[in-house]
Amino acid sequence: MSLCMGCMQEIGGNRVCPSCGFDNSEKQHAPFLPYGTVLSNRYIVGEGIDTNGESTRYISYDKQTGDVVIVCEFLPIGLFSREQDTTEVKVNYEDRLVYRKMKDDFVNYYSILAELRELSALMNVHNIFEENNTVYVIEENEDLIPFEEYIERSSGHLDWDIARPLFMPVISALEALHKRGVGHYAIAPKNMYITASGKIKISGFSTENERKRGTTLKSQLFSGCAAPEQYTDNFPLDDITDIYGFCATLFYALTGHLPKNAVERQKDSRLLMSTTTVKRLPPHVVSALANGLQVERENRITDFDELRSQLSVAHTAKAIQDEISRTASMNLAKEEKRKKNKNGMSRTSITVIAAAITVLVLGIAGAFWLMQNPLSGLFDNSSDNTADSTESTEWTGETVPDYLGMTYEEVFEADEADDSVTVYRSYTDEYSDEYAEGLVMSQSPAAGSKVEQEDVITISITISLGSQMRELPEVEGEKLDDVAADLADKGLLATAEYVYSDTVAEGRVIGYKSNEAGDTLEYGSTVTVIVSKGKEEQSTTQS
């Protein structure tokens, strides 16, 4: 049987695989295993899939079962050597103790994963064995969709009702790992996959030697998801670290983008969400994200029970779908209009052609008059004819529309009414003291610019975020949902703390924790509101 080293499918006598296009005449270069290496007299090793500072994963074939599997090889970069076309790992004498300790950590880590295979979010580990002076782990190979691709297919983000059942098993998996004394420490979109049955699978497993700075290994940290402490040499990692990565990945799923790098967030800790996103999410979810992504560890959610509790509160706000519905209906109307007009000429085309004919006729007439008038050019008429000259050269064709000060919805409606214009919203919005939030603050090309072609005009618009500083409203006695929505309208994130109160009814807001109404905060800032738990029940004892 001849197998493709790229996909492990039968290729017969072909050099290039007809299934995946892999060229099987190539060699796999050291320090990685040669193509066709047989491990434990059972597993045929193919192309390397991915590698980090601690291990490398290969596509492989199990001769015993006939299944395609994943072989993970312990290869701590910098502590070993392997010559081309050989399999034996050679360890430097001075590194042998470190190598042995890290190998033991690796075996212990994957042994725990193998014992937890019943958890749906964890990859299934089938076998662990030593060979070639190193360790091999056999993982199940499933048909998976990369999580980033899944989000892209889902219009760039997930609604909470969809994200919640996906992510809750991940909390259980992380909790089980930490109860056994290990963690993941690299929860990130790139290490998440979706199974055919619609569940999340976690990948990217490594010991903590690979997930923090200061160890012998070259660390692999995922920007936006790695917690601040992972950038500090040899800082102890724990469940609080994984909570940060989990919340960063959930943030990505719900918003379509990751938080800023943790190092950057130590200078500016704000979590930027659009007003639409904040309104779309239940307030308790926004609050949980803010609490789980605190830069300072002492302010972060401290255990998985608390994380699960904060994310499991009954929904307190409905998702806003008006914008989505309106956009969908507008797109349908535009498509129908284009179908009706596909055999006709656009208004712009007709206008431009008419203008061109007019200019041509006037030009011919003017040339004929000059030829028939021998006195032309003998007198300097520049002063007398300035107005006429200016008027004759003034642009009379189409110009770029003016969208400044309009809302995006108004621009969209105007776009619908004119087939000659296509409007795109720029990737980033900007602050403006001149234009209120939600209004167009700039456009390119500028309004009034000449349109000299018959094709569709493409215009980029930038939406104002409003003023960068936002004033805190009065909140005392209000419902938490109302306060969260009000703050969201101002571009601020609300997180809640609950205390007993003899004067404020349960569920009503007592006030701000560290601020007062009228204070100004920067757009995107998180503000904590104190919510009443009602009167504290007094326990009575009987003598």
pLDDT digits (tens, 9 = 90+) for 370-412: 334 433 333 333 334 333 333 445 666 778 889 999 988 888 7
Per mean pLDDT, which range of 149-158, 181-190, 222-231, 276-285 is the poorest?
Answer: 276-285
Name the token pair of 252: 């990505």
Where residue 133 falls (left for φ over 0; alpha for ψ -120 to 50; beta otherwise) is left
Cα separation, 300 vs 307, in Å, equals 10
Q: Is 360 a residue whose pLDDT tops 90?
A: no
- Please provide the average confidence, as pLDDT, over all residues in the chain: 83
Neighbours of 429 (CB within 10 A): 17
| DSSP run (H or E) holding 72 | strand 68-74
Beta carbons within 8 Å of 472's beta carbon, 6+ residues apart: 487, 490, 492, 512, 515, 516, 517, 518, 519, 520, 521, 527
Pick the closest to residue 497 from 314, 317, 319, 306 (CA basis). Answer: 306
Q: Minimal CA–CA distance to 456: which of 343, 349, 331?
A: 349
Per-residue pLDDT at 460 exceeds 90: no
pLDDT at 60: 98
The model's pLDDT over 189-209, given as tens digits with 9 standing for 90+, comes to 999 999 988 999 999 999 999
pLDDT value of position 367 = 40
What span, in angstroms and rounded, lies between the C-alpha atoms of 497 and 510? 10
Pairwise pLDDT comparison (493 vs 103), residue with the higher score: 103
C-beta separation of 470 from 520 below 8 A: yes
**Can you tell me whether residue 35 is helix, strand or coil?**
coil
The pLDDT of residue 176:
96
Helix ranges, 116-198 (H): 147-153, 160-179
Q: Which has the higher per-residue pLDDT, 260 or 445?
A: 260
CB 333 within 8 Å of CB 380: no
Model pTM? 0.64
DSSP codes of every residue in 392-459: HHS--S-B----TT-BHHHHHHHHHT-TTEEEEE-SS-B--SSS-TTBEEEEESPTT-B--SSSPEEE
pLDDT for the residue numbered 327: 43
Rg (CA), the chain: 32
Phi then psi dihedrals of residue 138, to 5 deg = -100, 115
Amino acid residing at 534: G
Q: Are 192 and 203 in contact (CB under 8 A)?
A: yes
Q: What angle do CA 516, 522, 524 make, to 5 degrees?
A: 105
- pLDDT classification of 362: cutoffs 50, 70, 90: very low
| pLDDT above 50: residue 230 | yes
For residues 90 and 390, the model is more confident at 90
Residue the block writes with tokens 């005449």:
25
* Cα separation, 452 vs 433, whole angstroms: 34
Please state which of the ranges 95-104, 187-196, 389-398, 483-492 shows the lowest mean pLDDT: 389-398
pLDDT at 226 over 60: yes
Please, which residues have CB within 8 angstroms of residue 291's CB and are 6 or more apart in sequence? 299, 300, 301, 310, 495
- pLDDT band at residue 299, thresholds of 50, 70 and 90? very high
> Rounded to whole angstroms, what are the CA distances from 56 to 150, 460, 484, 507?
25, 45, 46, 52
